[in-house]
Copies of this chain bind each other. A is one copy, B any other.
Amino acid sequence: MPSIDGKRFLASLHALGECGALEGGGVNRLALTDADKSGRDWAVNRMRELDMDVTIDAIGNIVAVYRGTEELPPVMTGSHIDTVRTGGLYDGNYGVLAGLEVIATLRDRGIRSRRPIAVAVFTNEEGARFQPDMMGSLVYVGDLPLEQALTTQDAEGRTVGEELERIGYRGHEAVGSPRVDHFVELHIEQGPVLHRRGIPVGVVEGVQGISWTEFTFEGVSNHAGTTPMELRSDAGYVAACLTTFAHDLALGYGGRQIATVGSVRLTPNLVNVIPNRAVVTVDLRNTDAQALERAEREVLAFAMQAAQTQKVTCRHRSLARFDPVAFDASVVDLVAREAERLGLNVLRMPSGAGHDAQMLARVCPTGMIFVPSIDGLSHNVREDTAPDDLIQGTQLLLQILLRLANRPS
């Protein structure tokens, strides 16, 4: 088996990290911003240096194909390069650049696998600017209509379609092409489990179900000093009650139930005015589909009840909803087997985060590899992974891709 060039690979992570770099470390490359464009340009340029066939589809997904010896559907790897507002160097970028390092390694040695190997960069995986997250891969597999995705607006009312045009990534390739033979995504864990247990490889068996709901409470704004407590319709208070309820519900469920209120917007948001409007998001996740549905029902019921008690109205809309996903058993086993061949301990685990791989799993046998995140930090400028772990994971990806691409029909 050929070995990847660890030095070159680590350098590529830092080179891409220059695009949208934040003062003092970290990256802000929100989807379809100028920073995202500069990252895309960097990646496409690298793909062309590797003589890959690069196509951009109508939702801005970038697919680069390294030709095989036969005209067969490609084995695909890849991830995303958009980040949250305060992101790190590895989330998404690691999987994309590891794929390109694999291709560079094969090309250096003139190796061609039987099937082509494709590296994909999917649009707006984070969902930090446009919801839902994993938008590019969701459109790729045909489960989000292209038109609906293109007309999605950000907080300032700009649409995905306009922004794709603006940065020059509204491509002509039909979405969903090429048809994919297998998909394997390499990603940092973004959680503390592997790092705490000192295990270098996570064999990802599936992905937690995800439910994002936005609640909008509307009451009456009024003077904070002259309105008796019992005569208030305080939308901010209801939002706070929902926040604590969701948090405590997750603690109560235990197991893999998680609840996060990450975004709260009060209007007018002044110290001496009772908020007449509160927009709050609840992010619920669980590997257990039934428990996730129960949590959703309880959170909704509480929100309605609390709103009624406080004499405020309650509207809600789903921003994203994905059932738990189980990856293909044969791919999961292959990941474990190849890791053991490399002498790497593995932990079979679910993914707590959503990933493009869960979308590809709907159309082809799919698996994922995790490497440790130091202290579990992610969506954080201090996100980090040990260089050896990054390199070992990329070597493992190379071996898995070659096995899949060279297997007989």
Contact = CB atoms under 8 A, between A and B. Distances in A.
A326 to B, nearest CB: 17
A131 to B, nearest CB: 7
Interface stretch (A32-40, A259-267, A385-393): A259-267
A226 B189 contact: yes
Contact of A270 (B208, B262, B377): B262
A127 B241 contact: no
What's the number of copies of this chain in the assembled complex?
2
Contacts of A351: 225-226
A377 B243 CA distance: 28
A380 B272 CA distance: 12
Chain B CB within 10 Å, residue with most, of A220, A259, A271, A273:
A271
A269 interface: yes
A261 B283 contact: no
Contacts of A319: 271
Given A224-B283, A231-B376, A262-B269, A244 B247 contact: no
B220 A283 contact: no
Interface string A207-231: 0101010100000111111111111
A131 B353 contact: no
A352 to B, nearest CB: 3
Interface stretch (A9-17, A54-62, A104-112, A232-240): A232-240
A85 B85 CA distance: 28
Interface string A79-98: 00000111000000000000
Size class of the contact patch on chain A: 35 or more
Nearest to A133: B272
Given A228-B258, A236-B243, 19 more contacts: A84-B272, A84-B273, A85-B268, A214-B271, A220-B377, A222-B376, A222-B378, A222-B379, A223-B378, A224-B260, A224-B379, A236-B261, A239-B240, A260-B272, A262-B268, A262-B269, A262-B274, A272-B283, A273-B379
B229 A250 contact: yes
Contacts of A223: 190-191, 352-353, 376, 378-380
Interface in A328-355: 351-354
21 contacts: A84-B272, A85-B270, A131-B271, A133-B272, A190-B225, A191-B225, A208-B225, A212-B271, A222-B378, A224-B262, A224-B283, A224-B379, A225-B258, A225-B283, A225-B354, A231-B376, A234-B247, A237-B247, A240-B240, A260-B271, A262-B273
